Structure 1
């Protein structure tokens, strides 16, 4: 596997981003969790073919300043969280999008014939708020976050807005469950780059020409995922732990109607992952 494939799969593997649950955040101002796992994800966004890819993940705090990876993106919270119950979040985010950037990763022959897409580097920021002690205990956590990024290297040359709601509940010091809902709103150049099929592409692939995805901005997909974790040491705040994720997303609107999805792929996107992490 090359580094592009490894990082591309990371977008599906959010289980390890929850590796340090809310009750640990209250106690520790410095913590680091490193994880690795295997994820089953679509061959490309909108594909009905799947592949298994290894995935790394990282999360931690330094002097109460949190950072975490979400797939191939890095988030840094510039507002320290000292465990007061309310966590205001604001900071930079930077990531890399490898979708369809390697022919070897695209199993569908028609989509492969459309050619590779350049790697996009997306930079921006996020804002959010979290609350510890919401429903089931003093340590469950509910957070709402919106990230806005823009491609800065001229690949899709557009923006992506990602609102997300996440809830995590420790069942004990040894286990937790989590539920997340998110969506992607993209600019018209994004749709044009990944979902339009021009005349040359139609001739090469056999897919019909399509341009509606590039006519306007809109919601590209919405998804939900369920995560869970189990400590091997008896305490999720330290040592080894196992994690798992299952997720579903639905392609929307003109993006779902693109031949890349409606003919060569599927509107329904499934993903799953299992992994192991170590908290220092």
Structure 2
């Protein structure tokens, strides 16, 4: 969700704060055919000078250039993965013997621009600052508003994700040691594009302070990621709604 949150950089002339609650469903891990309930508080502060703090995106700063381009640097956290079913973390009993992937403190660096009307194209690099075995990854995103009418704003998002060799090995690979402890054969994926996502976000303004945001998305695994022995399905879905109070 951090990547999806970063697609729409905030632009506020004065400080604004949002609180709320979000709930939805997501795959147990990338490639899982099983789903788990997810929920989180919504907490965001935009300080009017480009600085922000967000539960999903982390803490960072967005600089807007005069030509419509923008650059964002942020510090956030990426959850790990377990080899058992858990309520609080991605993971599945299907991965028994694979061991855990540790969560990482992440630095995200994004450069983007408005390309046509309010459509935004951006490129983001995600770099682990702790537990660096996670590897580098990045994504290219295009966000296009399709409905802006009264209380309703609907945007269409398209994204492709790239993983380095280390990232692919951590998320989709199976080492010899893991193969010996699990039901999977050893597998060494190469760097490349690993996923494409199509999303639809709907923001419904109830009043000056209250709003409801809903996001639905589908992701297709690509290349060596899709061929991984741990992958049960190449196609997955995600959905989340939140109710928010902004002041």
Pairwise CA distance, 1:18: 6.0
Determine which structure has the larger helix proportion and give its number. Answer: 1
TM-score, with length taken from structure 1 = 0.76
* Equivalence for 1:164: 141
Gaps of 5+ in 2: none
Q: Residues 18-29 of structure 1 correspond to what in structure 2 (within 5 A)?
A: 25=11, 28-29=13-14
Q: Secondary structure of the equivalent of 2:133?
A: coil
Q: Secondary structure of the equivalent of 2:185?
A: coil
* Equivalence for 1:4: none
Distance 1:107-1:184 versus aligned 2 partners, 3 A rule? closer
Provide the C-alpha distance between the structure 2 equivalents of 1:170 and 1:66, rounded to a whole number of angstroms. 28
Q: CA RMSD in A?
A: 2.9
CA contact (8 A) 1:183 1:223 kept: yes
Pairwise CA distance, 1:149: 2.2
In the alignment, does 2:204 pair up with 1:230? yes
Distance 1:103-1:198 versus aligned 2 partners, 3 A rule? same
Q: Secondary structure of the equivalent of 2:149?
A: coil
**How many positions carry a matched residue from both structures?**
244
* Offset from partner CA, 1:54-98 (integer Å, 9 cap, x none): 123444532342536483544420337xxx8x5321131222221
Q: Which has the higher contact order (CA 8 A, sep 6+)?
A: 1
In the alignment, does 2:68 pair up with 1:87? yes
Which of the residues 40, 43, 52 maps onto 2:37? 52
CA contact (8 A) 1:99 1:119 kept: yes
Gaps of 5+ in 1: 1-9, 135-140
TM-score, with length taken from structure 2 = 0.85
Q: Which moved more, 1:57-66 or 1:28-37?
A: 57-66
